[in-house]
Amino acid sequence: MAAGIAAELAKKQKEISVAEFFERNKHILGFDSMTKSIITGVKEAVDNALDACEEAEILPEIYVQIDALGDNEYRLVVEDNGPGIMRRQVPNVFGRLLYGSRFHTIRQTRGQQGIGISAVVMYGQLTTGKPAIIRSKVAGEDVAHEFELFLNTKMNRPEKIREEPIVWSGKEHGTRIEVCLKGRVTRGKQSVAEYLRGTAIVNPHATISYKDPFGGTLFFQRSTTIVPPKTREIKPHPHGIELGMLMKMLKSTKARKLSGFLSTEFSSVSAARAKQICEKAGLDPDANPKRLSLEEVKGLLAAFSQTRLRSPDTSCLSPIGARLIKLSLKNVLGDLRPEFYAPPVTRSPKVYSGNPFQVEAGIVYGGDLRSDSPVEILRFANRVPLMYQQGACAITRAIEDIDWRPYGLDQKGGRGIPHGPAIIMVHIASTKIPFTSEAKEAVANVEEITEEVKLALRECARKLRLHLSKEKRRSKVREKFDIAQRLLPEIARKSAEILDRPVPDVTPIMTKVMDVVEVSEKLEYHKKTRTVESVITIRNYRPKSQSIQFYAVIPPEYVGAESLDPPPKRKRKGGRYMWEFKRLPSNESRTIKLLLRGVEPGEYDETEFYVEGVDPLHLLGAEPLPGDWDLDGLDTTLEDFSRGKRPQPPKPPRADEEDGPAGNTTGGRAKAGGGAG
Amino acid sequence: MAAGIAAELAKKQKEISVAEFFERNKHILGFDSMTKSIITGVKEAVDNALDACEEAEILPEIYVQIDALGDNEYRLVVEDNGPGIMRRQVPNVFGRLLYGSRFHTIRQTRGQQGIGISAVVMYGQLTTGKPAIIRSKVAGEDVAHEFELFLNTKMNRPEKIREEPIVWSGKEHGTRIEVCLKGRVTRGKQSVAEYLRGTAIVNPHATISYKDPFGGTLFFQRSTTIVPPKTREIKPHPHGIELGMLMKMLKSTKARKLSGFLSTEFSSVSAARAKQICEKAGLDPDANPKRLSLEEVKGLLAAFSQTRLRSPDTSCLSPIGARLIKLSLKNVLGDLRPEFYAPPVTRSPKVYSGNPFQVEAGIVYGGDLRSDSPVEILRFANRVPLMYQQGACAITRAIEDIDWRPYGLDQKGGRGIPHGPAIIMVHIASTKIPFTSEAKEAVANVEEITEEVKLALRECARKLRLHLSKEKRRSKVREKFDIAQRLLPEIARKSAEILDRPVPDVTPIMTKVMDVVEVSEKLEYHKKTRTVESVITIRNYRPKSQSIQFYAVIPPEYVGAESLDPPPKRKRKGGRYMWEFKRLPSNESRTIKLLLRGVEPGEYDETEFYVEGVDPLHLLGAEPLPGDWDLDGLDTTLEDFSRGKRPQPPKPPRADEEDGPAGNTTGGRAKAGGGAG
């Protein structure tokens, strides 16, 4: 019996075409519901369009149109102004799975695996029986070419139905795909419009227009004209490379010597480092790399992890940058009139399994956002909005793991998605986003990434907390202030009248009643010069004179482009400037003027202040200085304090913990001097 | 510029090997963390072993062993007593992705896509550089064969390092895989042990032993010796088939006439139905199926959906069955001494997109289960435990969508995962489970499936609710009863003593105080005869005589194998039997004796009772009859009542809403007669 079964099974064993596999499992590619199928179609086409434009350093202009054909069938058109696709490549690019140009390169792109757009063509033919129509024009060529294509799933090859040269009037270069698919077009959350809104937020350099099947249109104007710098391909980094991959590289290398192999085929490995690695592994630098034994390769891998190496070159990444995130959040969310945009955070690049990645985060708070529901989460990966599988995503996990209560959001038990009038935005950029499936809907829970997201969010949340507590205290003391200011002069006047004496000066009494040092800021934006002028007033409403150390934090992107009057006594890492006011007498004030250059309209809302030397209970409009900030320049977050931890002893700064990235602007900017303790 | 880019990109365009794709994206296959990699390795090997045993109708004996080799490297061994694999097939089965025997067949199996086990081999070589060692013996052959294999990812082909015949002493047939991989072996939740515990629950016919790397062993003895009937391959069903798939079938058919094509290549299509379909589509039954136009094919598809067809043959499915679910839950969870196992529910098969599927559910309540945390969810698909991605799964979605509060579980706002001392178990069986990724960790949110899971859970939850409310009421009235029973005779005695009169009969007063009709049940299990004897007593503790219609529900699997004394007045659909007691005088009782045959030890806990004719406020130990149950035999759930809906007017029963499946036992059983109103 059993023998027969084995033979019977053997007869049925055969190869499965990858296209047939995905045809059967199309839900894995994002075609698992009627609504989602349409969004996936738009997403794949728009992702390709944006990738192509960036490759050619063109400011993208994307046009999306969806027409209802009845019976749940829709025609989807996506057109771009990208560089176009060479005629002979069109069929394979659109009609063959696992065919692409970016699979083996290490740099940040939206598409990578050569599946997406061909899957859309396959889904279209599966549900409507119609071929996709592709038109493409390469700059400098006279005509465009138009194709009608099917995907032969048994062979995983394109089937060309029609190909002809065509005049594409008014178009210099670009690509246009037209595909019919079954689905459902909806409005509201998880719609094409939402997807495009998200795309606009993380692609502030793109202009996107959308004509929906209900007769409506949507238009997102770019909020910057600076094309993100083209990402550069890098070699693999030794940290985190896997044994099998290393063996494969050794097997196929053209290098004759091990040291040469190491220094030419990896990033961040100099000739000196290569020698050092060989030494640690107990291997001859001149050894033939093709002839290493398994044990020797394992030794090499161990030596990698024991060797300090530069972080990978980060020109392979394209973060959006804190400034542009804020600008584009304002651009897209302006209608909700949020009360506060926490200054977005762009973390410095990190590495997981040899893959560089970088996390950015922003929090938008208050205004018309609903305060009685869970916060809205906007997830992005390599400048693409993630619309589905929120529950399965590392970003969500990181948000759920943070105790948001100290930061001013409501959260049951200090775990789970917090409630409150906030939008939390997270962008992960990487040469390789570890998506949980081919549909690229959720980021797998890789520890290094989750941790970075948490750090970014905490940094951002700290700013939200500062804002909220400042607001709260300000309004509380302001109330007292207002009452005193109304009542005291009145009492003085009345008393004087009754006693027939002159009206006394109430200022000293006011001071006694108020008993605060107040910091206030007045901002003025000058559109012509793109500058912000800030006048900061520090007034002593306490009965005694005060010795004050006053700190203002200038966001890193303006450091080097600011004027300060009076000049600060000290400049610290991270744009932290300190002024000292020895003995500010009761009832007197001091003024500091800041001038920041290169500021976009709406970009700058307020300056962070900290004060040392004043009892926090008697401080208004600024926070007490956190811990040992002034001593070693470490970024001790408020959270450490709220948990009652003592600040750690100073550590030497690590090479990869430098200030934020240089930013996307052109103005020359010097770094602030490092923390001379 | 743009032209250059297009040419440059064209040069880089190339095919990507599916193995290289998955090598880079191994997290998609379940290798995204150290812990998970080991569990995935065990899972793929055990799934294959169980599939092979079932194929050959062998009672599976699975042996799993994990040894720590140091430096996060483990050796994993999985051995089965399956039919073995033919020598020439071994390399492809274990060393090539997308190679298998089950991809094109429509029936329920664990593995289908020919990826799993080869992916384990690939992950092993990637992380340890070592080949997998496979040994296999086919029954009747003299020797086993042992292989050492790598997977060449560039070609997606096996690379044979060694092959030799080997004597496998004491082994008649079976397969053994040994693979080294990097990972982490943990204890507790999401561990290999948990995975095997889950596997034991849904495979009560398998014996599983596990030797862990900590020196511990785990052993799950099978709780039944009945091999699940082998699933049979079926043809596609016309309902839900996609246009593109139909076009492909038409293109490659050997049938010469359209009617022949329909009746031979689809399931549930008779020759008569085929003619009817052609007629509805306005097509000639004799037309050449290869020559239909797109519009004609679309018409055919429309005709499919307008034609009533039998549901697909369900011999392609292998549900576990309510009885075995309960037995094996008890077998595996016995240590937690739960208070109540809600009788598991096996729904009748349904269809989504042409794929038959069937949902089963069970709820375990109370005992040592933690009452202050979210309920534990046990998810299964095709008899495989799902360990990860709970948040992304349709099963979880269904649980979150149900308002559990009326069923006795705590749930904030009536949404989300409920809290309470319960385990919720759901099994989905299908010829094609729509997993969200190749790692098969979560079921995609297909509406038909989610709805069926909800129906199964509500049915189960209703039983939990009955149990809880019965318990609650019983204990409440029992308290009153106890007090009365202690006090009244005492008062009577004292009063008689004082008055020097004889002690009066307090029964009438007792009755007045109690004022209930009490139903109680005494169960006795006879191991030898495998029978349960139930004595049901209905006692009237009300001051007046009562006319009572009493219903007992016999679970469908015992219907036809029961003795009833006295015989019921009526038998209704779903094992609902009715006795009538006209004028049961005050203080008298009636007894019903049930004898159920073919009951496994521990299988039968209590009978469901309903009473009509007694004010629910004066009923103890039974529930009032729900709605119009007695009139049309419809299964009106309590939920409809709790929402204040009126019961719907009677509908004719649908063909696919027959009683549960025949069950896996051998005893001949007649169906109870349909509802003669």
Any idea what the CATH number is for the domain that residue A526 is in? Answer: 2.60.40.10
- Mean pLDDT, residues A327-349 taken together: 86
User: Does B247 lie in the same domain as B213?
Assistant: no
The answer to whether B193 touches B43, Cβ cutoff 8 Å, is no
A59 and A208 housed in the same domain? yes
Which residue of B436, B443, B447 to mutate against A (max A Cβ within 10 Å)?
Answer: B436
Please, are residues A142 and A415 in contact by the beta-carbon 8 Å criterion? no
Cβ contacts (< 8 Å) between B101 and chain A: which residues? 9-10, 12-14
Q: Write the pLDDT tens digit of every residue in A46-87.
A: 999 999 998 889 999 999 999 999 889 999 999 999 999 999
Task: Check whether A629 has a pLDDT greater than 60.
Answer: no
Average pLDDT for A259-267: 93
Q: What is the mean pLDDT of residues B228-240?
A: 86
Average pLDDT over residues A439-456: 92
The whole-number pLDDT of residue B593 equals: 93
Using a CB-CB distance cutoff of 8 angstroms, which residues of chain A are in contact with residue B444? 27, 32
- A357 assigned to some structural domain: no
- The yes-or-no verdict on residue A139 having pLDDT over 80 is yes
Whether A16 and B113 lie within 8 Å, measured CB to CB: yes
- Angle formed by the axes of helices B243-252 and B294-306, nearest 10°: 110
Does B527 map to a domain? yes
pLDDT of residue A627: 63
pLDDT at A657: 36
- Are both B63 and B175 inside the same structural domain? yes
Does the residue B295 lie in any domain? yes
Contacts of A602 (CB under 8 A, 6+ apart): A327, A330
- Best probe of the A interface among B15, B122, B145, B449, by most A CBs < 10 A, is B15
Which of B13, B72, B136 is the best substitution to test chain A (most A C-beta atoms within 10 A)?
A: B13
Cα–Cα distance between A401 and B421 in angstroms, integer? 25
Q: Per the CB < 8 Å rule, is A86 touching B126? A: no
Element (H, E) at B413: none
- pLDDT at position A25 is 82
Return the pLDDT at B106. 76
- Residue A497's pLDDT is 81
Distances (CA, A) of A27 to A37, A185, A305, B438, B448: 9, 18, 39, 11, 15
A6 with B100: Cβ contact below 8 A: no
| Mean pLDDT of the B526-530 span | 89
Q: CB B16 to CB A96 under 8 A?
A: no
Residue of B nearest to A244 (CA): B126
Predicted confidence at residue A105, as pLDDT, reads 75
| Band of pLDDT at residue B562, cut at 50, 70 and 90 | confident
Show residues of chain B in contact with A52, CB under 8 Å. Answer: 9
Question: Cβ separation of B13 and A93 shorter than 8 Å?
Answer: yes
Do the beta carbons of residue B107 and residue B316 sit within 8 Å? yes
> What does the buried/exposed string (b/e) look like for B192-210 if buried means 16 or more CB atoms within 10 Å of the residue's CB?
bbbbbbbbbbbbbbbbbbb
Chain A nearest-CA distance from B252, in A, is 11
> Distance between CA atoms of A439 and B422, rounded to whole angstroms?
34
pLDDT, tens digit (0-9, with 9 covering 90-100), for B579-604: 999 999 988 899 999 998 888 777 78
Cβ distance B434 to A55 less than 8 Å, yes or no, reads: no
Contact B139 A28 (CB under 8 A): no
Q: Specify whether A207 is located in the same domain as A257.
A: no
User: Which DSSP state fits B191?
Assistant: S
Pair (A200, A297) in one structural domain: no
Interface test with B, best of A8, A11, A14 (most B CBs within 10 A): A14
Q: Scan for tokens 């009509």, then name that residue.
A: B612
Predicted confidence band of residue B426 (pLDDT cuts 50, 70, 90): very high
Structural domain for B546, as ranges: 505-642
Of the listed ranges A74-88, A235-249, B193-207, the one predicted with least confidence: A235-249
Please give the average per-residue pLDDT across B522-529, as a whole number. 90
Chain B hits for A435, CB-CB cut-off 8 Å, are 25, 28
Gap from A13 CA to chain B (nearest CA, Å): 4
Q: What's the rounded mean pLDDT across residues A548-556?
A: 86
Q: Do residue B137 and residue B65 come from a single domain?
A: yes
Average pLDDT, stretch A345-357?
88
Residue A664 has pLDDT above 50, yes or no: no
- Asked if the structure places residue A601 within a domain, the reply is yes
| Cβ separation A24–B103 shorter than 8 A | yes
- Find chain A residues with C-beta within 8 A of B126's C-beta: 242-245
State the CATH number of the domain containing residue B259: 1.10.8.50
Nearest-CA neighbor of A436 among A15, A28, A24, A7?
Answer: A28
A129, B6: Cβ pair inside 8 Å? no
Q: Is the pLDDT of residue A639 over 60?
A: no
Q: Which of B220, B253, B282 corresponds to the end of one domain? A: B220
CA distance B550 to B539: 12
Judged by CB atoms closer than 8 Å, whether chains meet at B114 and A434 is answered as no
Query: Which residues of A are less than 8 Å from B443 in CB distance?
Result: none
Collapsing DSSP states into helix, strand and coil, what is residue B288?
Answer: coil
Judged against a pLDDT cut of 50, whether residue A469 lies above it is answered with yes
Q: Which of B536, B627, B634, B531 is nearest to B579 (CA)?
A: B536
A440 within domain boundaries: no
Does residue A4 lie within any of the structural domains? no
Residues B128 and B250 in one domain: no
Residue A148's DSSP bridge partners are A133, A162
Give the model confidence (pLDDT) of B141-189 as tens digits: 989 999 999 999 888 999 999 999 999 988 999 999 999 999 999 888 8
Contact A102 B12 (CB under 8 A): yes
Count residue pairs from A and B with Cβ separation < 8 A. Answer: 243
Residue A604: CB atoms within 10 A of its CB come to 19
Residue of A nearest to B388 (CA): A392
For residue A418, is it within any domain?
A: no
Q: How many folded domains does chain B comprise?
A: 3
* pLDDT at A669 (0 to 100): 34
| Residue B578, amino acid | M
Contacts with B429 (C-beta within 8 Å, 6 or more apart), sequence order: B108, B317, B318, B319, B320, B357, B358, B359, B360, B381, B382, B383
pLDDT-derived band of residue B138, with 50, 70 and 90 as boundaries?
very high
pLDDT band at B608 (very low <50, low <70, confident <90, very high): confident
Amino acid identity at A124? G
**If you count them, how many residues does chain B have?**
677
User: What is the H or E stretch that residue A312 is in?
Assistant: none
Neighbours of A367 (CB within 10 A): 15
pLDDT over threshold 90, residue A655: no
- With vertex at residue B407, the alpha carbon angle to CA B401 and CA B411, rounded to the nearest 5 degrees, is 50
From chain A, pick out residues whose CB is under 8 angstroms from the CB of B445. 32-33
pLDDT in tens, B209-232: 999 999 999 999 998 888 888 888
- Mark which of B308, B327, B358 sits at the end of a domain: B308
Are A182 and A282 found together in one domain?
no
Length of chain A: 677
pLDDT score, position A484:
73
Residues of A in contact with B245 (CB under 8 A): 23, 126
Strands B570-572 and B589-597: unpaired
Give the closest residue to A182 by CA, choosing from A11, A322, A68, A62. Answer: A68
Contact B83 A2 (CB under 8 A): yes
pLDDT score of B627:
63
Is the CB of residue A391 less than 8 Å from the CB of residue A486?
Answer: no
Indicate if B513 and B601 belong to the same structural domain: yes
Structure tokens at B525: 């299990």
Nearest Cβ partner of B129 from A173, A243, A442? A243
- Record: contact B32-A138, CB cut-off 8 A: no
What is the DSSP annotation of B372-409?
SSBPEEEEEETTEEE-S-GGG-HHHHHHHHS--GGGT-
Most B CBs within 10 Å, among A16, A36, A157, A399, to test the B interface: A16
Asked whether the beta carbons of residue B15 and residue A58 sit closer than 8 angstroms, the reply is: no
Q: What is the mean pLDDT of residues B435-459?
A: 91
Helical (H) or strand (E) element with A351: strand A350-352
Q: Do residues A58 and A131 both lie within one domain? A: yes
Cβ neighbours of A153 in B, within 8 Å: 248
In chain B, which residue's Cα lies nearest the Cα of A136?
A: B6
Burial class (CB in 10 A: 0-12, 13-18, 19+), A548: buried
Strand partners of residue B522: B535
Return the pLDDT at B629. Answer: 56
Name every chain A residue with its beta carbon within 8 A of the beta carbon of B3: 83, 138-141, 173
Alpha carbon distance A301, B11 (integer Å): 33
Report the gap between the CA of A616 and the closest CA in chain B (Å). 39
Please report, rounded to a whole number, the percentage of residues in chain A having pLDDT higher than 90.
44
Residue A15 and residue B93: Cβ atoms within 8 Å? no
Q: Smallest Cβ distance to B444: which of A13, A32, A435?
A: A32
Contacts of B160 (CB under 8 A, 6+ apart): B91, B95, B147, B148, B149
With both helix axes pointing from N to C terminus, report the angle between A116-128 and B243-252 in degrees, rounded to the nearest 10.
80
What is the per-residue pLDDT for A336? 81
Give B21's pLDDT tier (boundaries 50, 70, 90).
Answer: confident
Contact status, residue A52 vs residue A80, Cβ threshold 8 Å: yes
Indicate whether A653 pLDDT > 70.
no
Exposed, middle or buried by CB within 10 Å (0-12, 13-18, 19+), for A616? exposed
pLDDT of residue B18: 85
Are B97 and B24 found together in one domain?
yes
Mean pLDDT score across all residues of chain A: 84
- Residue of A21, A134, A446 to mutate, testing the B interface (most B Cβ within 10 Å of its Cβ): A21
User: Is the domain of B204 the same as that of B283?
Assistant: no
pTM given for the model: 0.74
pLDDT averaged over every residue in chain B:
84
| Rounded distance between C-alpha atoms, residue A288 and residue B207, angstroms | 51
pLDDT attached to residue B655: 39
Please indicate whether, in this complex, the C-beta atoms of A99 and B14 are within 8 angstroms of each other.
yes
- Minimal Cβ distance to B140: which of A3, A102, A243: A3
Query: Does pLDDT of B197 surpass 50?
Result: yes
Contact yes or no for A92 and B13 at CB 8 A: yes
Structure-token pair, residue A64: 């999306």
Residue B453 has pLDDT above 50, yes or no: yes
In-domain check, residue A101: yes
CB atoms < 10 A from the CB of B379, how many?
26
Q: What is the CATH number of the domain that holds A135?
A: 3.30.565.10
CB-nearest partner of A297 from B99, B129, B445? B129
In chain B, what percentage of residues exceed pLDDT 90? 44
What's the pLDDT band for A660 if we cut at 50, 70, 90? very low
Residues of chain B found within 8 Å of residue A126, distances taken between Cβ atoms: 242-245
For residue A381, list its beta bridge partners: A384, A428
Residue B636 clears pLDDT 50, i.e. is over it: no
- Per-residue confidence band for A656, with pLDDT thresholds at 50, 70 and 90: very low
ipTM of the complex: 0.71
Peptide bond into A566 cis (omega under 30): yes
CB contact under 8 A, A103 and B56: no
Range from A274-278, A295-299, A303-307, A333-337 carrying the lowest mean pLDDT? A333-337
Structure tokens at A644: 């009652």
B447-to-A41, A53, A272 alpha-carbon distances in Å: 21, 38, 61
Listed residues B256, B276, B308: the one ending a domain = B308
Nearest to B98 among A18, A125, A173 (CB): A18
Measured in degrees and rounded to the nearest 5, phi and psi for residue B202 equal -95, 0
Give the sheet arrangement for strand A144-152, strand by strand: A157-166, A144-152, A132-137, A174-182, A73-79, A61-70, A207-211, A217-220
- Return the pLDDT at B637: 33
